Chains A and B, each alone.
Chain A
């Protein structure tokens, strides 16, 4: 149950766990110039930053927003379902820019766990490192991380492309179902474990392959894809890549229904 206390000019609400959150009011702190806006997030809470962003994009029709000093706060820029440009000057915490559909986003710092979770479309460029679970359940669009990423990148990925300039941790592409990952650096153990489909390209070394992940046959389409993505994102000349795909030999790839399999076994 929510409790409210009065504290001078600033009312504070408390949720059931006793955590405080300022009342949900748009702070209106942006400097607006035509269809561009800039505001400083240093002294704003997560909710205030998101309210300001949504007000600019949805209510005022601004299509180019710069957020200064996001301060690694969590869940910033989520749920933006509009074509627009957003630039974060600084770092984001966990669950940044998730559930988005359409925006083109640049983050000049690093991001924490689960950036771009369930992203539908658009482009997200991250200039530094990203934490674990980057692009979890990604459905579409491109994520470009210039630095390294943590573990389980693209877990349950269902589409889209994840490009990583540095290394990737363990269980990269775990249970990947569709889409592409282009990792320029080294990859940790268990690459592509239990993947269903999709393509993984690795420029460095692979510590070990996960279950049912196997080397794939290189085609002209792979060359075209890699060259196009490198050209679009200004990544220079592509190195030589190894390609990995699903071997489709796990039990779930036979043609029998579970009830039929039981009949065969017995």
Chain B
């Protein structure tokens, strides 16, 4: 089933970490397997890299901790080797990290070089995007990663009921649009031409970290945007190119968009005000954010809507 949620503040910033936790927690029943966030803080000159070196449910063998520490040191060595100046590398959990670096080079080369370290998956990379995802409900993940008080402008989130692939962090949403910085996707639905697009995109040099069909959307959008499309153009084209039932949200550094397949088979409820736009698979997700009576509506089949700050 899965539940998705998004919020964009038209002006100014807010505690989007807490906001997204409230929205996702109210929809826990739609997906208790894992929860994920794509949060946009204030853009900086630094590049923020969220990565993990193991999965939450990997077996804890005797040298697990020693191996993680060795791989973490290897990450720092490689960052230096590729020309990134390390500002900070912090452990978020036993296996997940947040690094800030100064780097002007090729983002894809950087991500590929880091992911060559065994067990490493770059979850997000950008000047303001930070993807956090792990097993459990939103309150657990928020508490684990200290997301309350995360100040930012917009965010999307996902609670997952695993249907197409394993229950692990790699199968959790959001997906970063590798190797396009500051773009991420959450999806509710199933894509039926997943393998065709995966083969096509892999032959163009894109990498996939999971067996989850939703990862296709992120990489697809990245491919289109790398070719010069805007986020909205890429999303509109996806309605023709992707088969199946889907409602997905995509975010870039200054925009949040939503796309619905032509059968409108997956739900979404929208609320717009002068201050913000909020959306969720169920209205209770929006009401977790807004405590007064509101007017909401469902977007129609085949619609792409994009809001920019």
Per DSSP, chain A at the interface is loop
CA distance A124 to B301 in the complex (A): 26
- A90-B293, A91-B296, A148-B297 given; A113·B263 CB < 8 A: no
> Does A129 lie within 8 Å of B262, measured CB to CB?
no
Q: Which residue of A lies closest to B264 (CB)?
A: A151
Q: Is A204 an interface residue (CB 8 A)?
A: no
CA distance A129 to B269 in the complex (A): 11
List the A residue with the shortest CB-CB distance to B283. A72
Whether A151 touches B287, Cβ cut-off 8 Å, given contacts A19-B28, A132-B267, A170-B264, is: no
Q: What is the distance, in angstroms, from B84's C-beta to the closest C-beta of chain A?
A: 42
Determine the main DSSP class of B at the interface with A: loop
The distance in angstroms between the C-alpha atoms of A93 and B282, with both chains bound, is: 7
- Which residues of B in the span 276-304 have a Cβ within 8 Å of any Cβ on A? 282-284, 286-287, 293-298, 300-301
CB-CB contacts below 8 Å: B19-40 with A: 28-29, 32
Contact B295 A128 (CB under 8 A): yes
The 0/1 profile, CB within 8 Å of A marked 1, for residues 1-45 of chain B is 000000000000000000000000000110010000000000000
**In contact, B264 and A129 (Cβ under 8 angstroms):** no
Interface size class of A (residues with CB under 8 A): 20 to 34
Instruction: Tell me the chain B residues, 248-267 only, with Cβ under 8 Å from chain A.
Output: 262-265, 267
Q: A17-B32, A131-B269 are in contact. Are A109 and B263 (CB under 8 A)?
A: no
Residues on A facing B (Cβ under 8 Å): 17-19, 69, 71-74, 90-91, 93-94, 109-110, 112-113, 128-129, 131-132, 147-148, 150-151, 167, 169-171, 188-189
A–B complex contacts, Cβ < 8 Å, 25 sampled: A17-B32, A19-B29, A19-B32, A69-B293, A71-B284, A71-B287, A74-B282, A90-B293, A110-B283, A110-B295, A110-B297, A112-B269, A112-B282, A113-B267, A128-B295, A129-B296, A129-B297, A129-B298, A132-B298, A151-B264, A167-B300, A169-B300, A171-B263, A188-B301, A189-B301
